[in-house]
Homo-oligomer: A and B are copies of this chain.
């Protein structure tokens, strides 16, 4: 079952990267090209991750647990690009983008340490990593949305939806972590892989499509004088 879901991941992510890559190639406007390029690299990195795992690489027995540690290596590279999607759409200022990327790197790095630590130390790092995630939630729900709504008046609904979908999907990861062998061991390795693959496909391919849809909404509604950056 693990193998099945890993190959689903390969096929899904590769399809996504082809779609976004072709879109980037054909995009006329710079705004569309930017979003397509970001999502192309997000799904291309994830394709390599799933290919490696499907080939039996990037996995070791760590602390008596079968651990796909390579996930964290690629998440460290792909999650900042997802946040840049949000930042590009919301015209986020540099200090806020820096804070989001910093909190995200902190979350992934300490999540990785949690994953390779023996119990019960792993739970300490899990809480630290969740703390960084709470910081991301706060930054997106409050200052990110305020800034986006100030710069793009009348688009509050689009950004509320974007942030909500993003946070619902990202919240799935710490839940799977605590249910899997890294935490309380309530689900099997196969189910864990199924859940991570589903979350990855939704939060990378699906969220990429939502980003494009949001850009479409922004450019439809926006007054001409707001088109210039």
Q: Mark A88-108, 1 if CB is under 8 A from B, else 0.
A: 000001010011001001100
Given known A-B contacts A51-B128, A95-B33, A128-B51, A113 and B57 have beta carbons under 8 A apart: yes
The residue in chain B whose Cβ has the minimal distance to the Cβ of A129 is B48
CB neighbours of A33 from chain B (8 A): 95
Answer whether residue A79 sits at the interface, using C-beta atoms and an 8 A cutoff. no
- List 12 extra interface pairs beyond A33-B95, A51-B124, A77-B105, CB under 8 A: A24-B99, A30-B95, A34-B95, A37-B95, A37-B102, A45-B106, A48-B106, A48-B128, A51-B128, A55-B121, A55-B124, A57-B113
A-B contact pairs, 27 of them (CB 8 A): A24-B99, A30-B93, A30-B95, A33-B95, A34-B95, A37-B95, A37-B98, A37-B102, A41-B102, A41-B106, A44-B106, A45-B106, A48-B106, A48-B109, A48-B110, A48-B113, A48-B128, A51-B124, A51-B128, A52-B113, A55-B117, A55-B121, A55-B124, A57-B113, A57-B117, A57-B121, A77-B105
